[in-house]
A and B are shown apart, each in its own frame.
Chain A
């Protein structure tokens, strides 16, 4: 029998469009009713949405205020520093895509996103930077393609040092106005920039605290266990907004006289402390899934308690919970918007500034839809990437 000859299913099970519709849309009378109802909802929502997006909505408010929405009051003449670290991130992404997503033919298309963005109404300077980003990403991708094995370590190191580099570039080096990179105070940080920094710092710092709390909760030492349980349950029992208020209003009181913490850092502390408790519970779930035999085998091999955790248990536990962790990181990203309530000018907070301009009164829908779109695209992108990562690492498949 020729192998390349496709085996056709029996004639009754062959699907064509009519039989597919009969099976999936009009199986019975109530099925048909539901289909009509669903089709009506789709038509109604879609036509309303399209009419609003293309006819009613006045998008000028977004175009004019793009800079405010993206970087807040950050001085424009210093914006090159932000582009610089964005370039670093894109370069590293290009490298990583080339190394870890070799099989995927379409991954490289991600790097074209900045260039695509430049097709929208942006200033000439920004267009240059955006195209530059894509070029940087493609260069990074090309370099990664050439020597993937050699570069692996340096790319990981690059990701690790990128956070301090980002903070340093954003904040600046010296306080004097005339120097090469004057300090930009945190009260000028705003828009998507602030949202991004709050998210990244929140994730980075809550991770080790969360892992420690999870270990503490499973510890056999009662005092440490009680402390961890108390902390986790306390934080999980109250809303994030109350913790943010506490960080804003009470943190300055907790510190000795003369110490001051600026508002952005207070918010970062609040987000970190909050997300650590949730992370601890997720990590605990992963730890519980590791069979006892792993501990016993590690002990039999003569590993100490700390060694067992670091080399045997945690790598397996964390690998198991990657999807949950990504879900939580998306949660942190979405939750950073709450800092707008305590008066920071993040993406949501800056919207109030934009809407207060006399020229754009009453355009709440446009502004908030745009902000939602940013949140949606970034969150969805993260969850999509995590699903791919899951497939690559074979979580759940052994």
Chain B
């Protein structure tokens, strides 16, 4: 029989670590709450003094201002909320275009940094050093005021091959105009997309069953291209007609006119972010040890196979997380659009806030928007990262 052990002294609660920890946290939480309450009370009192109460209902009011670049019908009789949505869509379009081109340029830069060619190698590292130590804001303003607004007037526009017109009113590029058969073509494209997905999964299943490694991505993409081409040629009327930009009086017309603001913002963001993406790509490729390449050559894989099956999958694992943060940086940096007067979400929100005096509501709305974009992107990237990461014991 074991005698029940009874300590004759218990630890007083003010020296019991477990209780102290809980107590400390409660005090911390209470003080955070207290400060929060204080801020909230002050804010309410301050706003009441100005005769405003916190509410988002003003978003239904008529905006009364114009926006230069709109992706859906909008005029000064539309509501603030619609103006905000226009801004959001502009932010997204800049981000998508920026990410696309920054990735392409970044990969080229990263590979160039690893080139054995002396000049190419040095050029790429010079570019990196140049960009990395510049302020993005100054860079963007320079592109806007120093380059795109300094282009010649429409009268003496610069013509580039490929029917590109450069003027200080914008850059005109050829663009397709949908015709009557475009809706049908869109349906065909959708069908092509479904077929592509089917082919992709079929090939992957085949690869997993047999152990062979077909060029899954290539064949899937090829399927899509073939469907699109067939659709393009069997339709009685071409779904898109090519529309060239041309000079009309004192303005540009036809095609697609990219405003100086858009051009300055995207080119600045692309050139800036590409330098950082280049570093990410270089580090990723360098992280694959030389032995891997040598081993794969010893196994008889050729250069392309080595790249596709050995180097690339391993480099991707290192590249994805920092690449995500570069993409997010680009999205967040696109808020500097305000310095080149491009109507992105931040610029529009600032205009609304100047008109209505609703600083708290607009800033919180903008922050929430960016936060949502950031969280969604990182969730997506984390999911992808989980899938490709090294499976260990």
Contact = CB atoms under 8 A, between A and B. Distances in A.
Given A25-B119, A35-B117, A368-B145, A334 B136 contact: yes
A254 B32 contact: no
Contact of A368 (B29, B136, B138, B333): B138
A238 B136 CA distance: 17
A365 B363 contact: no
A383 B134 CA distance: 13
A168 interface: no
A395 B81 CA distance: 53
Contacts of B133: 330, 334, 375-376, 379-380, 383
A17 to B, nearest CB: 12
Interface in A238-288: 238-242, 245-246, 249-250, 252-257
B367 interface: yes
A25 B363 contact: no
Contacts of B21: 221
Interface in B334-365: 335-336, 338-339, 346, 350, 353, 359-360, 363
A246 B149 CA distance: 31
B367 A238 contact: yes
Contacts of B139: 372
B356 to A, nearest CB: 13
Interface residues of B, number: 55
Contacts of B363: 242, 245-246, 249-250
Contacts of A250: 43, 359-360, 363
Question: By DSSP majority rule, is chain B's interface helix, strand, loop, or mixed?
Answer: helix
Interface string A360-398: 000011001101100110011001000000000000000
A221 B138 CA distance: 43
A24 B121 CA distance: 10
Given A242-B367, A368-B141, A254 B43 contact: yes
Contacts of B120: 34-35, 37-38
Contacts of B350: 245
A223 B29 contact: yes
A239 B336 CA distance: 9
Interface residues of A, number: 55
A246 B353 CA distance: 12
Contacts of A237: 370-371, 374-375
A222 B123 CA distance: 50
B138 A375 contact: yes
B135 interface: yes
A328 to B, nearest CB: 13
A318 interface: no
Interface in A211-236: 221-224, 227, 233-234, 236
Contacts of A330: 133
Interface string B4-36: 000000000000000001001110110010000
21 contacts: A39-B119, A223-B26, A227-B32, A234-B371, A238-B332, A240-B332, A242-B370, A245-B363, A250-B359, A253-B43, A254-B42, A255-B42, A257-B42, A337-B135, A338-B137, A340-B339, A364-B142, A368-B142, A372-B135, A372-B142, A375-B135
Interface of B: 21, 24-26, 28-29, 32, 38-39, 42-43, 45-47, 115-120, 123, 129-130, 132-139, 141-142, 145-146, 149-150, 332-333, 335-336, 338-339, 346, 350, 353, 359-360, 363, 366-367, 370-371, 374-375
